[in-house]
Amino acid sequence: MKAIIVNAAVFQIGWLCCVLAGANHHPWLGTLTALLIVAWHVSHAPWPRNELLLIEGTAPHWIIAMWLLFATTLNVSLRWLKERLLLATALGAIAGPAAYFAGYKLGGVQISEFTTAMTALALGWAVFMPLLMILSNRLDGTRYQASRSITTGCDARV
C-alpha cells in the first residue's frame, strides 16, 4: 500500500513540475524532474527491462517526461485497474480530459475548440486506458514472480 501511495504522489509532483516548467518556458526543468523520478522508479523495479519497455515513447521531451511519469503508475498505483477494464475505460474517459483541462488552466496546454477537444480526449482515453492496462500486464517490471529462481538468482520466465 505504501508503494501505491508513494508512486501516485510522486507522479502528481512530477506531472505538476512538467506542466508548470513548460508553462513558464523552462521545460528542461520538468524533463529533468521526470527523468529523475523515472530513474528512481526503474531502479526499484524487480524487472527494470519490462518497465523501460512500457515507459518508452516519442513526443517533445516535456511530453515524453510526462508520459514516462504516467507509465510509472501503470504497474503500481494503477495496478488495481488491470482486472477492471470497464472501470479503466470510465476512468480514462474522465481522468484523461481532466488532466488536459488542468494543464490548460495552468497554462501548459492551449485548447482552441474546447468541447471538441474534451470529447476527443474522453473517447481516446476511454479506448487507450484499458489497452494500457493490458499492455502493463504483459510488461510488468514491478511484480516479483514465483517463477524467479531462488537458487540461481536467474529469471526463469519464458
Per-residue pLDDT tens for 63-108?
A: 888 888 999 999 999 999 999 999 999 999 999 999 999 999 998 8
Residues 6+ positions from 156 with CB-CB distance below 8 Å: 147, 148, 149
Single pTM value for the model: 0.65
Q: Which of the two residues, 158 and 6, has the higher pLDDT score?
A: 6
Residue 151 Ramachandran class (φ > 0 left, ψ -120 to 50 alpha, else beta): alpha
Q: Tens digits of per-residue pLDDT, 97-143? A: 999 999 999 988 888 899 999 999 999 999 999 999 999 998 899 88
Q: Grade residue 57 by pLDDT with cuts at 50, 70 and 90.
A: low
Q: Could you identify the residue written with the cell 526499484?
A: 44
